[in-house]
Amino acid sequence: MKKFTCREMGGTCDAVIEGNTAEEVSQKGQAHVEEMSAQGEESHKALKEGMDAQGEEGKAKWWEGFQKKFAEKPDA
Ligand SMILES: [Zn+2]
């Protein structure tokens, strides 16, 4: 199990996202941003817009970087 904060994943708050795989943490992180955004939280709304706007190339780049971060992070 590894733990990341929203901020460590490129987000804006200190909510903790945890999971056993990079895929799991990434999915939960995305769900967190969508949830906060749906609640009308402005900084997460901006994040979601940025995520939607970055396209496949941007997403692939983020994913590549995040996989490295996940591998380097010690188990929590
Ligand atoms: Zn957040």
pLDDT digit string (tens) for 12-66? 999 999 999 999 999 999 999 999 999 999 999 999 999 999 999 999 999 999 9
CB-based burial label for 56 (10 Å; 0-12, 13-18, 19+): exposed
Task: Report how far ligand 1's centroid is from the alpha carbon of 42 (Å).
Answer: 11
Q: What is the pLDDT of residue 76?
A: 85
Its pTM stands at 0.92
Task: Report how far ligand 1's centroid is from the alpha carbon of 32 (Å).
Answer: 6
Find the helix packing angle between 22-38 and 55-72, rounded to 10°: 120
Cα distance between the two ends of the chain? 6
> Does 5 have pLDDT greater than 90?
yes
Q: What is the pLDDT of residue 56?
A: 93
Task: Report how far ligand 1's centroid is from the alpha carbon of 14 (Å).
Answer: 6
